[in-house]
Amino acid sequence: MERDPRVCVMGEDVGHYGGSYKVTKGLATKFGDLRVLDTPIAENSFTGMGIGAAMTGLRPVVEGMNMGFLLLAFNQISNNCGMLHYTSGGQFTIPIVIRGPGGVGRQLGAEHSQRLESYFQSVPGIQMVACSTPYNAKGLMKAALRSENPVILFEHVLLYNLKERIPDEDYICNLEEAEMVRPGEHVTILTYSRMRYHVMQAAKTLVNKGYDPEVIDIRSLKPFDLYTIGNSVKKTHRVLIVEECMRTGGIGASLTAAITENFHDYLDAPIICLSSQDVPTPYAGRLEEWTVVQPAQIVTAVEQLCQ
């Protein structure tokens, strides 16, 4: 916001309260109430306002207090945000960032445990990225702010407490590039967001059992970085996808289709996709855990793949 006066923030409680997860803490004091705008509880209205502001040359950041609330703005995001550049014949660009907390938290209930990446992946004209570390959260946010395309940045409610030393100098992360987390030889594990940590926990067990998994955080949910993914598939010949998204119509399903279409001849075993169960997320803690992929399931799946 210091670098570019066109950047502004809008959403519920983003101003003097600092956001529901304190992501915008201190910005209202520093940049004023117009550049950090507290809105009414009306996602369709302020998302539409943000898209209109982007059309006039601003670079708005629209926060959904919880990503599930952005379903109320689905029309604005799909019919306006994603398509106006095309339907205007290129007269308008929509340099907007839509971001907020999502995913399965700790007993937040079904309506506050939404994973909207599956909802938005079919909307033309939108890029989607998911951060998983403080380093890539900053790098992806900066890249999204500087992009001429509308970008949805998915943050996870359980990752806000992560700490990491990040560079003082300016840097950005490529919006269309996956991150190699752990090189390996035996199996490619593709994951993103919070599941990265479940995968890395499982990887320790797998190494102790003699396996050498390659772990890739895909980060770019749309489009997929098929260059990085493809090179890994050609090396390991086995693929495990681990996601928190729903199994039916999720990111894993689209990724499975893309790998099958492009790299089928390199596969020595069927792709396995571990996803959340197709049920509303229960409030009860133990039941909630059972709906989401756990590290032990990842270990079992790798053992099955490498038989």
Burial string for 5-38 (b: 16+ CB within 10 Å, else e) reads ebbbbbbbebbeebbbbebbeebbeebeeebbbb
Q: Which two tokens stand for residue 143?
A: 């890249």
* CATH number of the domain enclosing 101: 3.40.50.970
Residue with tokens 């601003």: 58
Verify that 151 and 21 share a domain, yes or no: yes
Verify that 149 and 248 share a domain, yes or no: no
Q: Are 14 and 36 in contact (CB under 8 A)?
A: yes
Residue 43 annotated among the catalytic residues of the structure: yes
Sheet holding 187-191, edge to edge: 179-182, 213-217, 187-191, 239-246, 272-276
pLDDT at 245 over 90: yes
Total number of domains in the chain: 2
Residue 169 located in a structural domain: no
Claim: this prediction has a pTM higher than 0.85: yes
Q: Please state, for a pLDDT cut of 70, what percent of the chain lies above it.
A: 100
Residue 171 located in a structural domain: no
Identify the pLDDT of residue 90.
94
CA 253 remoteness from chain centre:
16
The maximal CA–CA distance of the chain, rounded, in angstroms, is: 60
Verify that 152 and 12 share a domain, yes or no: yes
Interval 107-122 mean pLDDT? 92
Verify that 184 and 140 share a domain, yes or no: no
Q: Are 10 and 58 in contact (CB under 8 A)?
A: no
Residue 258 located in a structural domain: yes
Residue 191 located in a structural domain: yes
- Domain carrying residue 225: 179-306
Verify that 151 and 187 share a domain, yes or no: no
Residue 40 located in a structural domain: yes
Among the candidates 156, 171, 205, a domain finishes at 156
Identify the pLDDT of residue 307.
86
Residue 2 located in a structural domain: no
Of 230, 205, 228, whose CA–CA distance to 217 is shortest? Answer: 228
Verify that 16 and 151 share a domain, yes or no: yes
**Letter for the amino acid at 216?**
I
- Catalytic residue (one of 43, 63, 179, 214): 43
- Catalytic residue (one of 63, 85, 112, 288): 112
Verify that 27 and 128 share a domain, yes or no: yes
Q: What is the mean pLDDT of the chain?
A: 95
Identify the pLDDT of residue 34.
92
Q: Which two tokens stand for residue 297?
A: 């399931």
* CATH number of the domain enclosing 219: 3.40.50.920
Interval 148-177 mean pLDDT? 95
Identify the pLDDT of residue 255.
97
Residue 228 located in a structural domain: yes
Identify the pLDDT of residue 45.
96
Verify that 205 and 73 share a domain, yes or no: no
Verify that 43 and 150 share a domain, yes or no: yes
Q: Are 11 and 63 in contact (CB under 8 A)?
A: yes
Residue 19 located in a structural domain: yes
Q: Convert the pLDDT of each residue in 191-214 to its tens digit.
A: 999 999 999 999 999 999 999 999
